C-alpha cells in the first residue's frame, strides 16, 4: 500500500512540477522565445532549430504551437513558416527525457535545498530571480517526483512483477497504455519519463517500454487535437501539424524496427547497444529518434503538410481579420517608416470599429458570430501593433521618434479599449429578445458616432473637431435617462439592469471616441517630414483642446 502511495505521490509531484516549470519557463523566456521564433523564417532547418531551442526552453511543444499560432495570426509568420517550428518544438522536449535518464538523486537534494533557501531569503520577490526561482522549484518537484517513482517499486518483488508484466503486456496493450497515458497527461514526455523511471527500477524491460513510448508519442498528438476543442482555422492547423509529426515519427521508427527484425537483426539489442547498455539511455534515444523522424520530413515537405492541415482545418474569418496589413518585422529597421506603418495600421483599426456594432436598421446584417470573429481579429491586430511599437522602442529610437512612438502606443491602447467597450455594448444589445426603444436609440447613436470617427480618418482636422464636439460630455443627459428608467415600469427587472449597463457602456464608448479623436489630431510621426508637414496646425489645436479639457 505504501508503495502505491509513494508512486502516486511521485506522479503528483511530477505533474505539478512540470506545470510550474513550464509556466515559469514561458514567463522567463517567452519574449526571447518569441523573438527567436520570428527569426525562423529563413529555411526549414532554421525553423526546426529555432523550434527545438524553443521546445527545450519551454519544455512544452504545446506552448511552442500556441506561440507560433499567435505569430501566424499576427502576420509575423505564415503557416508554412510555423510548420518546422512546431515540428522542432517536439524535438526540444526530448531534453527532459534525457535529464530523467540520469541518476540525479544527489542533484535533487541540492536543488531542493537551494530552492528552499532561495525562498527563505526572499529571492522569489526579486524581479530578476522571480521566474527562475519558479523554474527551479518546478524542476525540483519533477526530479523529486521521479525519485519517488523510482524508489517506490524497489520494495516490490521486482522479478515476480517483471515476469507478470513480461507475460501480461502484449504489444497492442502496451501501445494502448502509452496512448491513453499521453492523452490523459497531454504530453508524450511525461509517460516516457515515467517509463524511464520504471525501467531504472527494473519493473519494465526495454522491449515493452519501446511499444509504450511509441503509443505515448502518437497519443500526445491526438490529445493536442482533442484538447483544441472549439479552436478553428490556423490554430487548429498547427494541431494537425503536431499530429503529423507524431504519426510520421511512429511510422518511420516502427518501419525501421520492423525492417531490422526482418533483416535478421535484433532491434531491441541494437537499441540497447546504442544506449551503451543503459536501458534508460536507450529509451531516451528512441524518444529523440521518434521526434526527429517526425519533425524532419514534415518540415522538409512543408508544402504538403500545409495543404493537409489547410484541408483539415480551412482558414476562418478570424484568421484573415487578425492579419495586420501594414506593419511587418523588416520595417523595424527604419524608424520613420515603422512609425508611419504603425500609424496606418491604427487608422485601419479605427476604420474597422463600425463592424463591431450591430446595424439594427439592416435585415441582412452580419450575425453575432461574425462580429465576434471580427472583434477577436481586431484585438489581435491591436496587440500586434502594441508589440511592434514596443519592439521599436526597445531598439533605442531617437528622442523625436520616441515621443511619436509613445503617442501611437497610447492611441492604440485607447482604440483597443474602445474595441472592447463596443464588443461589450453589442453583447448587451444582442442579449435582448425584444430591444426596447432606448436600447435602439443608444445603439444607433453610438453607431453614428463610430461611423463618423471612421470617416474622419480620411478627412481633415475639421472632421475631427466635429467628432470632438459630437462626443462631448453628456453625463447629465444619461443620468436623467437612468433616473427615468429606474422610475419606469421596467423598474427593477433584468431588462432595466441591462439597459443601465448599456447606458454606462455607451457613455464610456463616447468618452473613448473623444479621446481617440483628440489623439488623432495630434502629430503622429515627427520622424517623417511628409506626415509632419500637415501636423503643425493639428498640434496647436491639440494644445488648445488640452487646455479646454
Partner 1 sequence: MHIEREQLGSEVVLKVAGRLDTPNAKPFEASLMEVVTTTDGGLLVNLAGVDYVSSSGLRALLVAGKAMRTAKRKLTLSSLQPQIREVFDISGFSTLFEIT
Which residues of the shown chain bind partner 1 in the complex (CB under 8 A)? 359-362, 437-438, 441-442, 444-445, 447-449, 451-452, 462-463, 466, 469-472, 474, 477, 481, 506, 510
Residues shown for the chain: 549
- CB-nearer residue toward partner 1: 213 or 471: 471
- CB-nearer residue toward partner 1: 311 or 483: 483
Instruction: Report the 3 state secondary structure along 151-191.
Output: HHHHHCCHHHHHHHHHHHCCHHHHHHHHHHHHHHHCCCHHH
Cβ 440 to partner 1 shortest distance, Å: 9
Residues 6+ apart with CB under 8 A from 477: none
Residues 6+ apart with CB under 8 A from 64: 33, 37, 51, 54, 55, 58, 85, 86, 88, 89, 92
CA atoms in the 13 A half-sphere facing the CB of 259: 6
Cβ 478 to partner 1 shortest distance, Å: 8
Instruction: Report the 3 state secondary structure along 195-242.
Output: HHHHHHCCCCCHHHHHHHHHHHHHHHHHHHHHHCCCCCHHHHHHHHHH
Count the neighbouring beta carbons within 10 Å of the beta carbon of residue 148. 20
H/E stretch holding 170 reads: none
Cβ 444 to partner 1 shortest distance, Å: 5
Cβ 472 to partner 1 shortest distance, Å: 6
- Interatomic CA distance for residues 27 and 515, integer angstroms: 33
- CB-nearer residue toward partner 1: 354 or 377: 354
- CB-nearer residue toward partner 1: 386 or 444: 444
Q: Say if residues 402 and 526 touch (Cβ distance below 8 Å).
A: no
Cβ 360 to partner 1 shortest distance, Å: 7
- CB-nearer residue toward partner 1: 489 or 530: 489
Q: Is 151 helix (H, G, I), strand (E, B) or coil?
A: helix
- Interatomic CA distance for residues 479 and 45, integer angstroms: 63
- CB-nearer residue toward partner 1: 27 or 441: 441
Cβ 381 to partner 1 shortest distance, Å: 24
- CB-nearer residue toward partner 1: 24 or 447: 447
Cβ 452 to partner 1 shortest distance, Å: 6
H/E stretch holding 386 reads: helix 368-394
Cβ 95 to partner 1 shortest distance, Å: 58
Cβ 453 to partner 1 shortest distance, Å: 12
- CB-nearer residue toward partner 1: 145 or 509: 509
- Interatomic CA distance for residues 205 and 198, integer angstroms: 9
Q: Say if residues 408 and 424 touch (Cβ distance below 8 Å).
A: no
- CB-nearer residue toward partner 1: 157 or 462: 462
Residues 6+ apart with CB under 8 A from 55: 61, 64, 88, 89, 90, 91, 92, 93, 95
What cell was used for 359?
446595424
- Interatomic CA distance for residues 280 and 273, integer angstroms: 12
- CB-nearer residue toward partner 1: 319 or 507: 507
Cβ 454 to partner 1 shortest distance, Å: 11
Amino acid at each position: 500500500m505504501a508503495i502505491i502511495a509513494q508512486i502516486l505521490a511521485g506522479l503528483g509531484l511530477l505533474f505539478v512540477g512540470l506545470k510550474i516549470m513550464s509556466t515559469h519557463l514561458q514567463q522567463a523566456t517567452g519574449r526571447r522565445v518569441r523573438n527567436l521564433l520570428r527569426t525562423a523564417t529563413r529555411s526549414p532547418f532554421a525553423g526546426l532549430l529555432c523550434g527545438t531551442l524553443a521546445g527545450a526552453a519551454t519544455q512544452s511543444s504545446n506552448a511552442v504551437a500556441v506561440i507560433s499560432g499567435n505569430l501566424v495570426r499576427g502576420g509575423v509568420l505564415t503557416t508554412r513558416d510555423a510548420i518546422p517550428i512546431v515540428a522542432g518544438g517536439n524535438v526540444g522536449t526530448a531534453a527532459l527525457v534525457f535529464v530523467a535518464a540520469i541518476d540525479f538523486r544527489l542533484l535533487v537534494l541540492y536543488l531542493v535545498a537551494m530552492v528552499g533557501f532561495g525562498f527563505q531569503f526572499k529571492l522569489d520577490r526579486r524581479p530578476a530571480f522571480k521566474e527562475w526561482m519558479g523554474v527551479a522549484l518546478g524542476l525540483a518537484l519533477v526530479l523529486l517526483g521521479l525519485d519517488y517513482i523510482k524508489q517506490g517499486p524497489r520494495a516490490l518483488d521486482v522479478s515476480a512483477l517483471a515476469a507478470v508484466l513480461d507475460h501480461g503486456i502484449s504489444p497492442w496493450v502496451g501501445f494502448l497504455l502509452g496512448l491513453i497515458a499521453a492523452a490523459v497527461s497531454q504530453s508524450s514526455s511525461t509517460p516516457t519519463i515515467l517509463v524511464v523511471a520504471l525501467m531504472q527500477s527494473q519493473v519494465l524491460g526495454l522491449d515493452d517500454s519501446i511499444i509504450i513510448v511509441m503509443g505515448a508519442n502518437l497519443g500526445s498528438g491526438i490529445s493536442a487535437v482533442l484538447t483544441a476543442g472549439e479552436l478553428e482555422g490556423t490554430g487548429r492547423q498547427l494541431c494537425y501539424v503536431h499530429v503529423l509529426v507524431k504519426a510520421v515519427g511512429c511510422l518511420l521508427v516502427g518501419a525501421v524496427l520492423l525492417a531490422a527484425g526482418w533483416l535478421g537483426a535484433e532491434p531491441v539489442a541494437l537499441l540497447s547497444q546504442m544506449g551503451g547498455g543503459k536501458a534508460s539511455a536507450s529509451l531516451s534515444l528512441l524518444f529523440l529518434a521518434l521526434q526527429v523522424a517526425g519533425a524532419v520530413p514534415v518540415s522538409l515537405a512543408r508544402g504538403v503538410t500545409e495543404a493537409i492541415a489547410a484541408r483539415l482545418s480551412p482558414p476562418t474569418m478570424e484568421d484573415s481579420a487578425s492579419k495586420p496589413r501594414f506593419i511587418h518585422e523588416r520595417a523595424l529597421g527604419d524608424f520613420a517608416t515603422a512609425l508611419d506603418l504603425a500609424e496606418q495600421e491604427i487608422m485601419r483599426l479605427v476604420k474597422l470599429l463600425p463592424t463591431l456594432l450591430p446595424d439594427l436598421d439592416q435585415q441582412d446584417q452580419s450575425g453575432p458570430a461574425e462580429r465576434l470573429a471580427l472583434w477577436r481579429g481586431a484585438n489581435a491586430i491591436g496587440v500586434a501593433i502594441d508589440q511592434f511599437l514596443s519592439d521599436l522602442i526597445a531598439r533605442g529610437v531617437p528622442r523625436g521618434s520616441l515621443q511619436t512612438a509613445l503617442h501611437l502606443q497610447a492611441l492604440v491602447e485607447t482604440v483597443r479599449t474602445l474595441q472592447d467597450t463596443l464588443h461589450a455594448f453589442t453583447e448587451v444589445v444582442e442579449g435582448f429578445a425584444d430591444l426596447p426603444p432606448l436600447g435602439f436609440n443608444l445603439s444607433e447613436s453610438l453607431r453614428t458616432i463610430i461611423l463618423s470617427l471612421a470617416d474622419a480618418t480620411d478627412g481633415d482636422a475639421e472632421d475631427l473637431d466635429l467628432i470632438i464636439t459630437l462626443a462631448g460630455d453628456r453625463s447629465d443627459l444619461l443620468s436623467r435617462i437612468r433616473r427615468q428608467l429606474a422610475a419606469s415600469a421596467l423598474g427593477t427587472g433584468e431588462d432595466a439592469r441591462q439597459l443601465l449597463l448599456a447606458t454606462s457602456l455607451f457613455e464610456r464608448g463616447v468618452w473613448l471616441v473623444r479621446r481617440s479623436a483628440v489623439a488623432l489630431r495630434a502629430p503622429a510621426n515627427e520622424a517623417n517630414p511628409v506626415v509632419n508637414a500637415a501636423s503643425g496646425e493639428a498640434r496647436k489645436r491639440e494644445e488648445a483642446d488640452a487646455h479646454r479639457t
